Amino acid sequence: MLVGLFALLVFLILGEATQSWVAIPVPSSIIGMVLLLIFIILKNKIPKNIEIAANKLAPLLPLFIIPISAGLITQAEIIQQYGLKLLIILTISLIPGALVTALILKLGKR
């Protein structure tokens, strides 16, 4: 578990390094993920330790997200003013997205 976590953190730092070196706007954690993916593809096998750490961390995601979500308390003004509109936008925009996805898959099958 700890060896895997160490490896994930090393790739995170590599992502950070790449980001500041090449100056691209992609989040450093995503660059770290892509670097790890390339590493795995080159090895053509997922290192056991990394897989264990990734699988242990993933289910805890909701816990890691709560502190960021709680930051919403600092955005009360936006919620009061635009909350309903935002809710409507979030709901409506789902429908065309789901339809396009499903239709392409259905047509592609033929």
Partner 1 sequence: MLSHLLQQPTTWLTLTLGAYLLGLKIYQGLNQASWLPPVLSGFLIVTFLLWVTETPYSTYEQGGQLLSFFLGPVVVGLAVPLFHHFHQMKKQALIILAAIVLGSFTTIAVAVALTHYWIGIDAITTTMASKSVTTPVAVAITEQTQGIPALAAAFVMITGIIGAAIIPLLLKGLKLDSPQTTGVALGVCAHAVGTSRAIELGQEYAAYSAMAMTLTASLHAIVLPWLL
Q: Is 78 in the site for partner 1 (CB under 8 A)?
A: yes
Q: Is 103 in the site for partner 1 (CB under 8 A)?
A: yes
80 and 35 Cβ atoms separated by less than 8 Å: no
Cite the beta strand spans of 1-110 per DSSP E.
none
Q: How many helices (H) and strands (E) does the chain have?
A: 6, 0
What is d(CA 75, CA 1) in angstroms, rounded to the nearest whole number? 37
Output 17 or 54, the one with its CB closest to partner 1.
54
CB of 76 to partner 1, least distance (A): 10
Least distance in angstroms from the C-beta of 72 to partner 1: 5
Site residue total, partner 1 (CB under 8 A): 69
Each residue 48-77 as x (binds partner 1 by CB under 8 A) or -, in order, gives --xx-xxx-xx-xxxxxxxxxxxxxxxx--
